[in-house]
Amino acid sequence: MARKKVTFECTACGYQTPKWMGKCPNCGAWNSMEETIEQKAASPKHGVRSESTAKVQKLNDVRQEQTPRILTNSRELNRVLGGGIVQGSLVLIGGDPGIGKSTLLLQMCASLSKERKILYITGEESLNQTKLRADRLEEDASALNVFAETNLEIIHEAVKKIEPELIVIDSIQTIFHPDITSAPGSVSQVRESTQSLMHIAKQMNIATFIVGHVTKEGQIAGPRLLEHMVDTVLYFEGDEHHAYRILRAVKNRFGSTNEMGIFEMKQSGLKSVMNPSEMFLEERSSNVPGSTIVATMEGTRPLLIEVQALVTPTTFNNPRRMATGIDHNRLSLLMAVLEKKEGYLLQQQDAYIKVAGGVKLTEPAVDLGIIIATATSFKDRAVDGLDCFIGEVGLTGEVRRVSRIEQRVQEAAKLGFKRAIIPQTNIGGWTFPEGIEVIGVTSVHEALKYALKT
């Protein structure tokens, strides 16, 4: 006979305990314990062993096979996925409500359905709503198979009957396994549903995309185990009140996690941005204090981004340090270098730093641009609008070497910049592009001298 076991499970992290607790001992969340009833089968008799078809092999004897990929009509999506969709892979995509997750996947399915068998499963919309949304897109979705269902067993039967090459589940929080007594969207349901979909994807060699809701902190709802189970985790970022969206990969077993895809939301759907640097700089402030251009790398692609700084006298005992697009602690560190090494009296100044376009800068190569923007705002002196700044800044005020300097300078030259101020250690060993002057500096003091023309 099967035995019923009552447990309490944390909806935030999946921690299980035999009794209810007000605070989860694992993640510290309050009032997150939900009662679940698990069906446990009777244990097998002693001495009975399960058979396995797997065998131990030496790594040298394992045959390496090329992983086939399915190319979509979106260049940016192919870039983030590492060159296309891998057959049999399980991809999780998350993002804020209304950001464009369903639109992106419906566009992808509509374009692929012309030559392949695709199944789009919606648990949040009716078939009429899905058709209305598909009619707004430019892609012809007449050959796309759609299915409005939330029962995982019925979905499995439909997949075995149709045998598609790609499945989209929108969303995993609406899917439920009938053997689990908890409500759809709970930790148990999300974990078991994803586990079942993973088996379907691997056994039938079907590429599967799963849409996941996010919490108010911006993380995908459900247990952290969910991101470990899938092959690829994508995050769709951007402000729903602005046209541009950014797709990032935070996990990818078949490609790099440093790639970034940029899309523009239009009436007919999401369109790939062909020249992101030009898009980020189209509204930049030219020849005004506190504005500099930095060259950053997103995966294999160089991007030119505007960094803006505003330094004003403070009215508080402790000056404010606010940063949008860069780490707050990083701003404090770079301002301390300006105070110590250049004698800038910033202790009575509020500082506000903003990265234009909603991009988040994490690599150290943008340090020099942030420092120059802060210094020019404090001095109320503008830098030349055709200058580009590249370099990591150390605590002693030195400008350090950065990687892929050739691609960064070539991108600046392509967009018409006349000077690139880079680390001196990056000079040599490569050919400068035509039309741009490359200046090597060893310290922040030297970079400020060129930037402010003093």
Q: List pLDDT tens digits, range 196-248.
A: 999 999 999 999 999 998 877 677 776 677 888 899 999 988 765 667 888 98
Q: Is 182 annotated as a binding residue?
A: no
Q: List pLDDT tens digits, range 51-109.
A: 556 688 888 888 877 777 899 989 999 999 998 999 999 999 998 888 889 999 999 99
What's the predicted TM-score (pTM) here? 0.76
Q: How confident is the model at residue 46 (pLDDT cuts 50, 70, 90)?
A: very low
Tokens representing 293 are: 């251009």
CA–CA separation, 246 and 100 (whole Å): 10
Three-state DSSP class for residue 232: strand
Query: What is residue 296's predicted lDDT score, i.e. its pLDDT?
Result: 93
Least confident of 28-37, 366-375, 433-442: 28-37
Least confident of 93-102, 186-195, 241-250, 389-398: 241-250
What phi-psi label fits residue 397: left (phi over 0), alpha (psi between -120 and 50 degrees) or beta?
left
Q: Is 272 annotated as a binding residue?
A: no
Phi and psi torsions of 364, nearest 5°: -70, -10
Least confident of 82-96, 170-184, 298-312, 433-447: 170-184
What is the mean pLDDT of the segment spanning 413-420?
93
Q: Is 98 annotated as a binding residue?
A: yes
CA–CA separation, 166 and 109 (whole Å): 8
| Residue 26 burial (C-beta neighbours within 10 Å; 0-12, 13-18, 19+) | middle
How does DSSP classify residue 358? G
- Pick from 170, 169, 223, 174: which is nearest to 197 by CA? 169
For residue 354, pLDDT beyond 90: yes
- Pick from 88, 74, 2: which is nearest to 38 by CA? 2
Q: List pLDDT tens digits, range 110-123.
A: 999 999 999 999 99
What is the mean pLDDT of the segment spanning 423-450?
93
Tokens representing 344 are: 């800038």
CA–CA separation, 356 and 290 (whole Å): 12
Q: How confident is the model at residue 180 (pLDDT cuts 50, 70, 90)?
A: confident
What is the mean pLDDT of the segment spanning 423-448?
93
Q: Is 101 annotated as a binding residue?
A: yes
Q: Is 118 annotated as a binding residue?
A: no
Give, rounded to a whole angstrom, the gap between the first and last alpha carbons of the chain.
Answer: 87
Q: Is 95 annotated as a binding residue?
A: yes
Tokens representing 436 are: 């741009």
CA–CA separation, 310 and 340 (whole Å): 20
Give the list of residues 6+ apart from residue 340 with CB closer than 8 angstroms, or none: 397
Query: What is residue 211's predicted lDDT score, i.e. its pLDDT?
Result: 94
The answer to whether 188 and 37 have CB atoms below 8 angstroms apart is no
